[in-house]
């Protein structure tokens, strides 16, 4: 089995979370809903393993930590929204 590229994984995790922030209503439950509705990459997707792992990790973190403040969840995931403003 091919190993996961950590840099690509972090890149896609950041992209998925920032996309969810941009296109959801901005609430934690809205972000989780957006991530849960996002389909996992298909069989022929480039960097499929990294994308699937990143999407699942984002979903899991949002689901398990809904009681945390949003900035703490983002910090836990390593996502800095200030870099992308």
Domain boundaries in the chain? 6-84
Please tell me the pTM assigned to this model: 0.90
CA–CA gap between residue 24 and residue 15 (Å, rounded): 14
Q: What is the pLDDT of residue 85?
A: 56
In the structure encoding, which two tokens stand for residue 78, read together?
């390593």
Q: What is the pLDDT of residue 84?
A: 58
**Per-residue pLDDT for 19 more than 60?**
yes
In this predicted model, what pLDDT tens digit does every residue of 29-85 receive, in sequence order?
999 999 999 999 999 999 999 999 999 999 999 999 999 999 999 999 999 877 655
In angstroms, how far is CA 17 from the centroid of its own chain? 4
C-alpha distances (whole Å) from 4 to each of 10, 35, 49, 58, 62 are 11, 21, 7, 16, 22
């Amino acid at each position: 089995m091919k190993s996961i590229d950590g840099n690509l994984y972090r890149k896609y995790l950041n992209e998925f979370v920032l996309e969810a922030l941009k296109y959801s209503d901005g609430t934690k439950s809205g972000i989780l809903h957006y991530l849960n509705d996002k389909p996992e990459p298909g069989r022929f997707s480039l960097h499929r393993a990294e994308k699937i792992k990143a999407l699942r990790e984002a979903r899991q973190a949002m689901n398990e930590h809904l009681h945390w403040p949003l900035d703490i969840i983002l910090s836990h995931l390593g996502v800095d929204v200030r870099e992308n403003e």
